[in-house]
């Protein structure tokens, strides 16, 4: 597979990733308790299946990724759907209290409370989208994003020949019923790329995701 070029990083994306990491660092410890209970079976299966090989700053995912469909594509406006946890759940109440303190809601002006909550909710939604997509995205799609990150746009056939076709050759079982259009639709539905006629261009969200993988030292080289 052709190695991805060095990422194009903008100051806005650096600020966005830093902000997401700061908010996520506070919110996730409390939220993880809720998520771990709701998703304990999938998490157990994930631990059994996934192994990462790390050498220096490089991490390579050695196990095959889970089956991917466009239904798994997560947009930035998405939020976790935790079954059995409602608005009045004690865990939710605890996180609400922590958020109120963390955001200093009782001290800010009334007119600023809604914008503050909306901004926080948007950051959590983006963080959820990044983490969720990281679970499902294929290595060939990450390589394609890396390629697009270094060029204004590329022809669909170029992406097919450079990234999709080699993945099909290496993982025929995974791609037996997964066409190039479906492969491309997953990253389009995730908001990472946008069609421009017969070309495809990476979006700001796609650049943010690629930068997120690098800054979090998540594996860029993966199967599929």
* Mean pLDDT value of segment 163-184: 94
3-29: pLDDT as tens digits: 555 555 555 666 555 555 555 555 544
* Mean pLDDT value of segment 89-117: 83
Query: How does DSSP assign 83-136, residue by residue?
Result: TT--TT-HHHHHHHHHHHHHHTTTTS-HHHHHHHHHHHHHHHHHHHHHHHHHHH
The pLDDT of residue 7 is 55
Beta-bridge mates of residue 60: 53, 221
CB 135 within 8 A of CB 66: yes
Residue 99 has pLDDT above 50, yes or no: yes
What share of the chain in percent tops pLDDT 90?
35
In this prediction the pTM is 0.62
State the Rg of the chain over Cα.
19
Give the confidence band of 196 by pLDDT, cuts at 50, 70, 90: very high
pLDDT, mean over the chain:
76
The pLDDT of residue 95 is 79
Comparing 85-94, 111-120, 181-190, 195-204, which segment has the lowest mean pLDDT?
Answer: 85-94
19-71: pLDDT as tens digits: 555 555 555 444 444 444 455 455 444 444 444 444 444 444 444 555 676 66
């Amino acid at each position: 597979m052709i190695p991805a070029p060095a990422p194009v990083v903008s100051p806005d994306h650096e600020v966005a990733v830093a902000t997401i990491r700061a908010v996520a660092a506070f919110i996730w410890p409390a939220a993880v308790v809720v998520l771990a209970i709701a998703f304990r079976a999938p998490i157990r299966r994930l631990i059994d299946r996934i192994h990462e090989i790390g050498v220096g700053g490089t991490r390579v995912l050695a196990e095959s990724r889970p089956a991917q469909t466009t239904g798994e594509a997560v947009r930035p406006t998405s939020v976790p759907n935790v079954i059995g946890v409602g608005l009045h759940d004690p865990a939710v109440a605890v996180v609400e209290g922590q958020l109120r303190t963390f955001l200093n809601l009782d001290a800010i002006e009334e007119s600023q409370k809604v914008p503050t909550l909306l901004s926080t909710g948007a950051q959590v939604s983006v963080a959820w989208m990044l983490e969720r997509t990281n679970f499902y995205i294929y290595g060939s799609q990450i390589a394609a994003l890396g390629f697009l990150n270094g060029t204004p746009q590329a022809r669909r056939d170029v992406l097919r020949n450079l990234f999709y076709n080699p993945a099909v050759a290496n993982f025929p079982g995974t791609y037996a019923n997964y066409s190039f259009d479906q492969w491309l639709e997953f990253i389009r539905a995730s908001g990472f790329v946008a069609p421009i006629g017969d070309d495809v261009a990476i979006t700001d969200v796609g650049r943010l995701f690629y930068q997120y993988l690098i800054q979090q030292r998540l594996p860029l080289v993966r199967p599929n």
